Amino acid sequence: MIQQNPVMRICISCRKTFDRKNLLKITKDHKQGIMFQNGIGRSAYICKSKKCYSDSKIKKKLQKALKTLLEPEFIDIFEQELSSYNDFSNKGI
């Protein structure tokens, strides 16, 4: 019987714990900079709750979590990413 325990991560906005599959992962990759759902480096997770991903302070929270400064264009890219992840759970890594 193979049963994998879900990997649990904390949403940086509401601080609740979720199965990683249900979160959007933002990574500060060593080489490529900010990446979504991919990349190696310091990562932050945001849950599907609209309250969290549309939080006006989300950029600040991400900067703190990733220990980096995000470019002004980040929010545009972030919103584009979100719209392409209508259902994050279908986008396993």
Task: Please name every residue paired with 70 in a beta bridge, in sequence order, or none if there are none.
Answer: none
26 contributes a contact to Zn ion by CB under 5 A: no
Q: Which stretch binds Zn ion (CB under 5 A): 12-20, 22-30, 34-42, 56-64?
A: 12-20
Q: What are phi and psi of 15, to 5 degrees?
A: 65, 20
- Residues 82 and 88 sit within 8 Å (Cβ to Cβ): no
Residues 52-71 contacting Zn ion, CB under 5 A:
52
The SS3 of residue 17 is strand
List 13, 26, 28, 78, residue binding Zn ion (CB under 5 A): 13
Applying CB under 5 A, which residues contact Zn ion? 11, 13-14, 47, 49, 52
